Structures are given as structure tokens and as C-alpha cells.
């Protein structure tokens, strides 16, 4: 096979075919993804800038939000530029090692996003259930350690994907029916037995996503109990309103993620492949695109920070 090392059965490159069956519509499909990418980059970078420069937002909740924004913008940047090159310029070839690097970062960053959402749920739990101890529990060193632990967990559990995929023989085809290098999509191209990849992939999903969803569920159960016990309806409404943005972010992230994970392993025969690929791309694009919008609309402090920053910049320009 051209581009294949015959001794190691390792291809020199893979060919990403984009969305199978919809090649003629690639240009039209690329437009909403390009638009979403621009919104994601501008929105998340804007949030990071606002949180870093607005002193009123120097609080644990917003530090975690800044970490989520950094993760989101890194995640979509890992895949979308390469996808647009496939759609616009028919640049489908990707080096084998570059494919493994992309695969690692895609899964590591999705794991990181899940972990940050879990940390944000714990933050809301402490804020609502232990409001008087909030500042003493979630100090800056604690936040930094929690973020570092989440990052190290993601790297440790996702790194084996690279080695498990690299060990497989590729002797039949190097064509991947996808827009980016996903773990199972690459493994299924192999002519070897990828059962270990499938088992470890599911195990990693359970250790990361399953654990995070369990912690989020427990946090919100405790939050719900605490809020219901409040005597004032206004206090209950205020407590719930601080959680709505985070609940929206959880739904946006986990629904397409669970669909992608389980259809890869159990439902491919029942779902058209192009639908699966489109959902897999939305799974990486929806959270980065919608999270800044949701938090901007639902969070009064961010709205005030944007207005304050905008008028400050306007005053500076007027003085010039």
C-alpha cells in the first residue's frame, strides 16, 4: 500500500473523507460550522479577557468559567480548521502521527471539559449549601489544585488511546470516514483486533463521564434539598437562577457526547453514518459556541462586566 511501512504495517498518512455520502454538500455544510467556530473563538476569548480584567469577576465561579472557555476554544480549534480544509480545499491527507496527536487532544479536551463542568457543580454546591464558608473553602490555591488535578486526570486516562491505536496493524486501508481523527474511527480502519481499544474507550468514558455525571447529580440533589428548604420564594428563585447557566451547559455537553459514545459501539447499524458524523462534529462545536451565549444571557455579573468594559473603552477612545 502506498505510504505504508511494510515492516510495521503503519501508514504514512490517513485520508479523512469528511462526511460520507454528503461530499457534494461539503461547501454548504461548512458554512454553519465556520460561523459557529467564529462565534466560539470570539465568545470564549471575550469571556477569558473579561474575567481576567474585571475585578468583580475574580471569584471561583468565574475562574472555573474561564477554564471552561479556555478548554472550549482549544477543543474546537483542534478540529474545525482541519475540517474546513477538507470541505473547502479537499486537503484530506493527515500524517499518521499528526492524526494520533489530534486524537489525543480531542479526547483529552473533552475529558477536561467534563471535569470542569463537575468542578462548577461542586462550586454551586458549596455556594448554596455553605454560603458563609464559600470564600474559605474555595480559595485560589484550592481552585488551582482542582484545575491541575482535572487536567492530569484527563491526560493520564486519555494517553493510552495513543499507544493502543499506534500498536494496531493497518494493512488494508487508510481511509477514515470522518472529519477528524476520533479514537474508534481510527481503530476501525485497522486490520487487527481493536477489541481492547473499544473496551478501554468505554472504560475511560465511564471513569471520566460517568464519575463526573455522578458528582454533578449528587451536587444538584443536595442543592435541590437546600433550596427547597428555604422559606422565602425569592431566595429559592435567586438560588435556582445561579444554577441555570450551568445546567444548560451540562445538557449541551452531555447529550451529544453520550449519543456519539454509544452509537460508535452499539448503534452504527441503525443510524446512517453521515448522521453520526454530523452529531460527532456538533458534539465538539455546540458547547464552545453556546456556552458563552448562555452565560452572557443568564449571568447578570457578566452582562454588567461587558457594559462596564464597553463604556470604559468608549470613554478612552473619546478622550483620544
Task: Supply 313's cell numbers.
Answer: 473603552
- Helix 233-262 and helix 211-228, axial crossing angle in degrees, nearest 10: 160
pLDDT by residue (tens digit) across 136-167?
999 999 999 999 999 999 999 999 999 999 99
Q: Is the pLDDT of residue 266 over 70?
A: no
What does the DSSP 8-state code read for residue 92? -
What pairing do the DSSP bridges indicate for beta strands 10-11 and 4-5? antiparallel
- C-alpha–C-alpha distance, residues 279 and 256, integer Å: 7
pLDDT by residue (tens digit) across 187-214?
989 988 999 998 999 899 899 999 999 9
- C-alpha–C-alpha distance, residues 168 and 186, integer Å: 10
Question: In the prediction, which pLDDT does 213 show?
Answer: 94
Which pTM value belongs to this model?
A: 0.90
Task: Please provide the size of the chain in residues.
Answer: 320
Amino acid at each position: 500500500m502506498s505510504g505504508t511501512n511494510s515492516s510495521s504495517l503503519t501508514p504514512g498518512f490517513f485520508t479523512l473523507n469528511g462526511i460520507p455520502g454528503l461530499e457534494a454538500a461539503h461547501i454548504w455544510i461548512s458554512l454553519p460550522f465556520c460561523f459557529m467556530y467564529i462565534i466560539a473563538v470570539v465568545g470564549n476569548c471575550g469571556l477569558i479577557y473579561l474575567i481576567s480584567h474585571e475585578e468583580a469577576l475574580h471569584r471561583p465561579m468565574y475562574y472555573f468559567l474561564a477554564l471552561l472557555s479556555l478548554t472550549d476554544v482549544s477543543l474546537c480549534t483542534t478540529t474545525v480548521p482541519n475540517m474546513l480544509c477538507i470541505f473547502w480545499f479537499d486537503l484530506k491527507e493527515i500524517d499518521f502521527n499528526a492524526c494520533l496527536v489530534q486524537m489525543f487532544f480531542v479526547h483529552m479536551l473533552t475529558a477536561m471539559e467534563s471535569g470542569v463542568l463537575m468542578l462548577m457543580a461542586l462550586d454551586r454546591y458549596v455556594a448554596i449549601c455553605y454560603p458563609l464558608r464559600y470564600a474559605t473553602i474555595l480559595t485560589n490555591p484550592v481552585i488551582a489544585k482542582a484545575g491541575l488535578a482535572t487536567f492530569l486526570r484527563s491526560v493520564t486516562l486519555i494517553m493510552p488511546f495513543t499507544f493502543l491505536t499506534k500498536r494496531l496493524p493497518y494493512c488494508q486501508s487508510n481511509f477514515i470516514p470522518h472529519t477528524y481523527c476520533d479514537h474508534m474511527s481510527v481503530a476501525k480502519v485497522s486490520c487487527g483486533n481493536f477489541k481492547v481499544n473499544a473496551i478501554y474507550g468505554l472504560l475511560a468514558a465511564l471513569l471520566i463521564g460517568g464519575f463526573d455525571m455522578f458528582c454533578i447529580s449528587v451536587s444538584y440533589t443536595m442543592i435541590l434539598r437546600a433550596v427547597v428548604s428555604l422559606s422565602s420564594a425569592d431566595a429559592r428563585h435567586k438560588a435556582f437562577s445561579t444554577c441555570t447557566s450551568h445546567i444548560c451547559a451540562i445538557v449541551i455537553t452531555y447529550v451529544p457526547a453520550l449519543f456519539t459514545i454509544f452509537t460508535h459501539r452499539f448503534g452504527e447499524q441503525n443510524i446512517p453514518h453521515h448522521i453520526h458524523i454530523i452529531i460527532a462534529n456538533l458534539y465538539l462545536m455546540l458547547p464552545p459556541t453556546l456556552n458563552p451565549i448562555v452565560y452572557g444571557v443568564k449571568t447578570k455579573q457578566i452582562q454588567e462586566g461587558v457594559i462596564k468594559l464597553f463604556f470604559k473603552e468608549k470613554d478612552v477612545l473619546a478622550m483620544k
